[in-house]
Structure 1
Amino acid sequence: MVSEYDFWLLDLDGTLVDVEWSYTREVFDRVGDRLGREFSDQEADIIWNGLTGSRDRQLEAWGIDPTEFWAAFHEEEDPLVRAEQTYLHDDAAFVADIDAPVGLVTHCQEFLAEPVLENVGIHDWFDARLCCTEQTGWKPDPQPVESVMANLGVGNNGHRGVLAGDGANDVGAAWNAGLDAIHVERVGHERRGQCVLGDYRVRSFDELF
């Protein structure tokens, strides 16, 4: 499976790593205090894991201004605490053995992503990394994916690549950039409320091998 592709791109949160629920709950409690609005466990789960696709559209549907929410959210996130509360999925270990260029394309902001990568010991797994911003675009926009491909030297020049992630936005970004897509379903179809299609649909990367 691994050798079928000339390069691999991966998402981070929910794909390779996850954070303890207690951390998520505490962050949403503090964000709720800032915004004057309580978040239920279900709402926190939906936003943290992007269960309904676009987080901004979901926030707007709840009557919450996304810009205000994310400003409060990032103010309340402590990079070191988050890193300490983050764990690596056992089935992600195959990435370390990929004998091809490997890139990371994540919505996790750089001030959070770097401590997480260091804490779980996977910083050196990636030949190129990109933390999406308004300037780079957000998945499913292919722009951040294509940017990492360019950094890896595997642009649209006949190389066959794949992007693995836990959300519909990851699959969309892969297809929009002309790549195969692996969807790893970490939360379950029942909790997500829908099925996410992909060229491969697995509950664990172990199923690929």
Structure 2
Amino acid sequence: MGTIEAVCFDLDGTLCVRDQSDEEVYEAVFDRVEAPAFFDLADIYAVDYSSLPEANSDREHHEHIYRAIARNVGADPSYAPRLAEATLEVLDPTAVSFRDGANEVLEYVRETYAVGLITAGSEETQLPKLETLGIQDAFDVTVCCGPGTGIESKPNPEPFEIALDELGSSPARSIYVGNQHDRDVVGPQRVGMQTAWVPEEDVSSNPKPEPTFHLSWMHEITDIL
């Protein structure tokens, strides 16, 4: 695909994966708060993040999530602030590893293309991950978006527009690589970017809009460029 000038990546779940499992994180959170475990992982995954109130910090964002869960399951929302604080204490932003094939793909892309990172999360949360992986200098532009950043979160067009402007690349000549359809396909396609969707698990359905490329493994990125 000779028309591509810039390749932009998502971070969490795309370039890296957490070493802490969701199960151990939330078990530790409830232990710290000494609250009844009033939800399970399915309740977390069921939250409609697009309906959450705007947050000004990571802590506030987590609090909104816990309040939404409490409403959904009929639990006491007063635990939300303490759960949010405990979550920030338990989550270790340096406890990350490369997703299989991601480091090799990033090295390959850097040889030929302008490279951007568009990631949901504050600099305090996301930049330590880059340092742990040793890729803090791998990107021509890094855009952190969402709560506390002053930039709308994906799938809002704003972070993609900022990255493309700084890279000096047109949307049609740029491709975004990510693992979440609702953020990493819907968002970049709103601004006219091509998309490579690389979900972490097998997907039985074909959600709309369809990505430009639906891949199973990160190393397949080199086959489409």
TM bracket (short chain): 0.7 to 0.9
Corresponding residue for 1:162?
A: 175
Match of 2:125 among 96, 99, 112: 112
Structure 2-normalised TM-score? Answer: 0.72
Aligned equivalents of 1:139 and 1:70: distance in 2? 24
**Is the 8 Å Cα contact of residues 79 and 115 (structure 1) preserved in structure 2?**
no
Q: 1:126 to 1:81 in 2, by over 3 A?
A: same
Pairs aligned (count)? 194
Whose Rg is larger?
2
2:57 corresponding residue in structure 1: none
Note closer, same or farther for the CA distance 1:136–1:72 as it changes in structure 2 (3 Å cut): farther
**CA shift at 1:5, angstroms?**
0.9
Task: Tell me if 1:139 matches 2:133.
Answer: no
Distance 1:111 1:21 in 2: 18
For residue 24 of structure 2, what is the aligned residue in structure 1?
Answer: 26
- The Cα offsets for residues 14-63 of structure 1, whole Å up to 9 and x where unpaired, read as 111011243x323323545657653323345x27xxxx8x5354854762
In the other structure, the counterpart of 1:12 is 11
Deviations 1:109-158 (A, max 9, x none): 211111110101111211111111253111111111101111222256xx
The answer to whether 1:88 aligns with 2:98 is yes
Structure 1's unaligned 5+ residue stretches are none
Contact (CA 8 Å) 1:9, 1:105: kept in 2 or not? yes
- Give the direction of change, closer, same or farther, for the CA distance of 1:81–1:136 in structure 2 (3 Å limit): closer
2:189 partner letter:
W
Secondary structure at the residue paired with 1:189? coil
Which amino acid letter does the alignment assign opposite residue 144 of structure 1? P
CA contact (8 A) 2:100 2:218 kept: no
TM-superposed deviation, 1:12: 0.4
